[in-house]
Amino acid sequence: MTRLNGSGSLSALQQYGVVTEAYWTFTLSDGALRMLVLFHFHQLGYSTLDIAGLFLFYEVFGILTNLCWGWLGARFGLRFTLWAG
């Protein structure tokens, strides 16, 4: 649990720690979810290349989504993209 300093805010080092912990938590959970998907399709009998194609399709559309929403964020502001998302 993170402690606040006397003014009610986090120090720079504490902020860094919170962001780093959140990043690692997301990274590990995202990787675990991808492994479950991979194992599921392997169990269904898909070949290695079929599974690679599935992940390639997923990644390409992730890139397109980031590009589109990044453009919208630059054009209309981050508040818009936050509420729209």
The tens digit of pLDDT for each residue in 31-43 reads 999 999 999 999 9
Locus of tokens 């453009």: 71
Q: Are residues 57 and 67 in the same domain?
A: yes
Shared domain check, 79 and 51: yes
For residue 81, give Cα distances in angstroms to 9, 60, 72, 73, 78.
Answer: 27, 21, 7, 6, 5
Determine the pLDDT at residue 80. Answer: 87
Same domain for 18 and 33? yes
> Which pLDDT value is given to residue 4?
56
Q: Is 77 left (phi over 0), alpha (psi -120 to 50) or beta?
A: left
How much is the pTM? Answer: 0.61
For residue 71, give its domain range. Answer: 47-85
DSSP annotation of 44 reads T
CA contacts within 13 A on the Cβ side of 63 = 5
